[in-house]
């Protein structure tokens, strides 16, 4: 019964392609806060009415580098949290890992500066219409959208457990906030510097069993998502994954973020993770394709 309910919830939470991005706007968003949080930057942006249309799992595409920059492609960032203040006012929050040239530029922006952003973009996590038992699994800064999701789930009366994993303790994002926002938090690190030594996939099977989990939500590196999908299939639990692919435009034009996904008719198609995702049914993604087109894919 729980699995049937969870499947229905995912379908209800999904959107048709024609409805994706229909609330997206291109705006100049003022930075209201930029603070260091461990290895990351937590940035708040004033976005007006955009916040009212933002859901957990959505992302924004940011123009980087300034007017004379040679960085012509936007950078995609998952939305950590949105706050609708009413009367057309609101803000969104991002977690930025300053790894590459674009993300480092965003992280270095000062309060009062403006960023050109397009959002909210992509599909959102399916939200239950009645209480279920949910497990949220995040890897590194990929855990960002799970915090806002946790708030929504708890408001629906769901029990929410969370697993946060990273290579080291410094790369676990906001463990104290994670502990406050869920019923129970488990931390794993590859080097054992915090929580349990190992990967999130080491602890997920026991958590699914001990907490009678109905649905797993995850966001993080693709290898982690593949491992969580394998576990959820073995346990007979629905898994919604927010995939991490390079999204150069964020609006379905450039085709850089395609990946093979099996449809309800059993046919594999190359879908755009920025339009058909980033939130997808984990069981449908052909994780072992390794950036190639699998045999049997439609059109091949």
The C-alpha atoms of residue 59 and residue 273 are separated, in whole angstroms, by 12
Separation of alpha carbons 296 and 268, rounded Å: 7
Q: Kindly state the helix (H) or strand (E) to which residue 9 belongs, with its residue range.
A: helix 2-13
Task: Measure the CA–CA gap between 122 and 208, rounded to whole angstroms.
Answer: 28
| CB contact burial 236-247 (16+ within 10 A = b; e otherwise) | ebbbbbbbbbeb
Looking at 229, 249, 269, which one is the last position of a domain?
A: 249
The encoded tokens of residue 273 equal 């993770």
Are the C-beta atoms of 137 and 218 separated by less than 8 Å? yes
> Do 30 and 49 belong together in one domain?
yes
Token code pair at residue 87: 């009367």
Instruction: Note the helical H segments in 141-221.
Output: 144-155, 175-181, 200-210
Query: Residue 221 maps to which CATH number?
Result: 3.40.50.80
Confidence (pLDDT) at 21: 86
pLDDT, one tens digit per residue, over 273-297 is 999 999 999 999 999 887 778 787 8
> How confident is the model at residue 289, as a pLDDT?
83
In 10 A of CB 17, how many CB atoms?
12
Tell how many helices (H) and how many strands (E) occur in the chain: 6, 15
User: What is the C-alpha to C-alpha distance for residues 41 and 93, in angstroms, rounded to an integer?
Assistant: 10
| Same-domain status, 141 and 245 | yes
The residues, ordered by sequence, that sit 6+ positions from 177 with a Cβ below 8 Å of its Cβ are: 147
pLDDT at 235: 96
Which ranges of the chain have pLDDT less than 50? Answer: 1-8, 10-17
Same domain, 31 and 52: yes
Share in percent of the chain as helix, strand, coil (round to 5): 30, 35, 40
Domain count, the chain: 2
- pTM: predicted TM-score of the whole model, two decimal places: 0.91
The residue out of 77, 97, 121 marking a domain boundary is 121
Residues 134, 83 share a domain:
no
Burial (0-12, 13-18, 19+ Cβ within 10 Å), 51:
buried
Asked whether residue 204 falls in the same domain as residue 56, the answer is: no
Pair (143, 229) in one structural domain: yes
Residue 216 belongs to what domain range?
A: 2-15+124-249
The pLDDT, as a whole number, for residue 4 is 43
Supply the CATH number for residue 40's domain. Answer: 2.40.30.10
Residue 254 lies in a domain: no
Residue 300 is predicted with a pLDDT of 64
Q: Which pLDDT value is given to residue 122?
A: 94
């Amino acid at each position: 019964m729980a699995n049937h309910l969870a499947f229905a919830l995912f379908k209800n939470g999904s959107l048709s392609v024609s409805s994706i991005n229909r609330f997206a706007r291109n705006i100049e968003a003022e930075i209201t806060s930029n603070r260091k949080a461990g290895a990351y930057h937590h940035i708040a942006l004033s976005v007006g009415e955009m916040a009212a249309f933002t859901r957990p799992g959505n992302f924004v595409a940011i123009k980087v580098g300034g007017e004379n920059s040679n960085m012509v492609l936007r950078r995609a960032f998952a939305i950590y949290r949105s706050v609708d203040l009413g009367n057309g006012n609101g803000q969104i929050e991002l977690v930025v890992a300053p790894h590459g040239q674009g993300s480092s530029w965003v992280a270095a922006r000062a309060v009062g500066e403006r960023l050109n952003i397009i959002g909210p973009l992509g599909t959102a996590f399916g939200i239950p219409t009645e209480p279920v038992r949910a497990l949220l699994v995040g890897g590194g800064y990929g855990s960002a959208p799970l915090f806002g999701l946790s708030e929504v789930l708890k408001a629906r009366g769901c029990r929410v457990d969370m697993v946060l994993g990273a290579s080291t303790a410094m790369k676990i994002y906001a463990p104290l906030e994670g502990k406050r926002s869920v019923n129970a938090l488990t931390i794993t690190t590859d080097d054992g510097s915090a929580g349990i030594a190992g990967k999130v996939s080491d602890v997920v099977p026991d958590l699914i069993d001990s907490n009678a989990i109905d649905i797993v939500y995850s966001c993080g590196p693709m290898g982690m998502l593949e491992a969580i999908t394998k576990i959820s299939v073995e346990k007979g639990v629905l898994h919604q994954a927010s995939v991490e692919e390079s999204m150069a435009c964020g609006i379905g034009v450039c085709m850089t973020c395609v990946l093979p996904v099996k449809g309800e008719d059993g046919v594999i198609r190359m879908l755009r993770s920025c339009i058909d995702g980033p939130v997808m049914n984990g069981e449908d993604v052909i994780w072992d394709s390794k950036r190639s087109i699998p045999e049997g894919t439609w059109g091949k």
